[in-house]
Amino acid sequence: MDIAELWPPFRIRVACGPLDMRVMRDSDFPEALAVAHSGVHAPGRLPFYVPWTEATGTDLERSFLQYHWGERAALSPERWSLDLGVWHEGRFVGVQGVSTRDFPVTRTGETGSWLGQEFHGRGIGTLMRQAICVLCFDHLGFEEVTSAAFSDNPESLGVSRKVGYRADGQVRYARSGALATNIRLVLAPEDLVRPPYDVSVEGADAFVELVQPRAT
């Protein structure tokens, strides 16, 4: 029996033009870590709530593995996340995720993403965000998708603008001990700027059954 028969998230596959996206398996982690090690952003920038890219060497590797294993282990209808590895023309380039709380009631979730620095600025971040929004709205039953980025992250804010999100306030954050403004964004299904390619999705039904069990 393949592990994907036992664990429905492993069945999700999203294809969109040059992109293939799927939940990473353990065998994908070395390739993902090689890209993370090569750099995700310029030194000194702090784009994430948890500054995981500040770590180096085995510290980065262990925190990366434990984060992904932890999210997998904690999955429940009340709290789940999907972290899709992203391959561009067959090459691993980064991760596009979405995380939720009380999804059967709230029908919302926040996207988060990163790309190896060498892959920035080519439209890949926009395309992978568009693709996960199609997965969320057309296949997983989302009624909205949110995003957030610090005010000094114009790349992430640029992606959100291009994909159709609208501003939804801002929050003051203590980021590594200093004040930072976190810009909140929200996307309604009718505002989604769809990608210029068809999006093909496999495996969504089994995942929906796992995280939205029907009342018996």
Ligand X SMILES: CC(C)(COP(=O)(O)OP(=O)(O)OC[C@H]1O[C@@H](n2cnc3c(N)ncnc32)[C@H](O)[C@@H]1OP(=O)(O)O)[C@@H](O)C(=O)NCCC(=O)NCCS
Least distance to ligand X from the beta carbon of 154, Å? 3
Q: Which amino acid is at 75?
A: L
CB of 74: closest distance to ligand X in angstroms? 21
Which secondary-structure segment (H or E) carries 62? helix 57-73
Select 18 or 158, whichever has its Cβ closest to ligand X.
158
Q: Which residue, 100 or 113, is less far from ligand X as judged by CB?
A: 113
C-alpha–C-alpha distance, residues 108 and 72, integer Å: 19
Inter-axis angle of helices 154-163 and 124-134, nearest 10: 50
Q: What does residue 113 show for φ and ψ, rounded to 5 degrees?
A: -160, 160
Sign of the CA dihedral running 64, 67, 72, 78: negative
The footprint of ligand X (CB under 6 A) covers: 40-41, 47-48, 113-115, 120-126, 149, 153-156, 158-159, 162
Min. distance of Cβ 111 from ligand X in angstroms?
9
Q: Which is nearer to ligand X, 35 or 204 (CB)?
A: 35
**Alpha-carbon distance 133 to 194, whole Å?**
9
Residue among 9 and 47 whose Cβ is closer to ligand X: 47
CB of 148 to ligand X, least distance (A): 7
Name the minimum Å distance from CB 124 to ligand X: 4
Q: Measured from the CB atom, is 146 or 212 closer to ligand X? A: 146
* Rounded Cα distance, 95 and 24, in Å: 9
CB of 211 to ligand X, least distance (A): 24
Q: Which is nearer to ligand X, 11 or 113 (CB)?
A: 113
Transcribe 106-148 into DSSP letters.
Answer: H---EEEEEE-GGGTTSSHHHHHHHHHHHIIIIIS--S-EEEE
